[in-house]
């Protein structure tokens, strides 16, 4: 199982500064098992394997807690689109952009 952290606004992935909440998405066997929402970005620290945003932002706090930061290939992606991109390895690592 993987746990993805995604900042969201109106069900779309947005930079953390614009987020209304943060989705903690549990992915098991290629399917979304459940989604929990938290109000604070810090609530994801230490509890997600990947932190996903549409553009570069401060992510060293996630790196320090063992989570890999990833960037979406385009903006305005829904949570489902982000999970699909994750499963098909279409997200960018911070080291590759």
User: Residue 3 in 3-state DSSP?
Assistant: strand
Contact 87, 76 (CB under 8 A): no
Give pLDDT tens digits for 6-60. 999 999 999 999 999 999 999 999 999 999 999 999 999 999 999 999 988 999 9
What was the pLDDT predicted at 94? 80
* CATH number of the domain that residue 9 is part of: 3.30.420.130
Across the range 1-6, mean pLDDT stands at 97
Q: What's the predicted TM-score (pTM) here?
A: 0.94
Overall number of domains in the chain:
1
**Please, which residues have CB within 8 angstroms of residue 67's CB and are 6 or more apart in sequence?**
5, 44, 45, 48, 49, 50, 51
Which domain range does residue 90 map to?
2-96
């Amino acid at each position: 199982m993987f746990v993805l952290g995604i900042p969201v606004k109106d069900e779309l992935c947005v930079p953390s500064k614009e987020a209304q909440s943060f989705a903690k998405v549990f992915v098991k066997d290629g399917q979304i098992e459940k989604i929990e929402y938290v109000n604070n970005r810090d609530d994801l620290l230490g509890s997600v394997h990947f932190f996903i945003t549409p553009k570069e932002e401060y992510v060293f706090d996630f790196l320090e807690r063992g989570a890999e930061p990833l960037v979406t290939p385009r903006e305005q992606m829904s949570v489902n689109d982000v999970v699909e991109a994750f499963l098909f390895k279409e997200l960018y690592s911070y080291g590759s952009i």
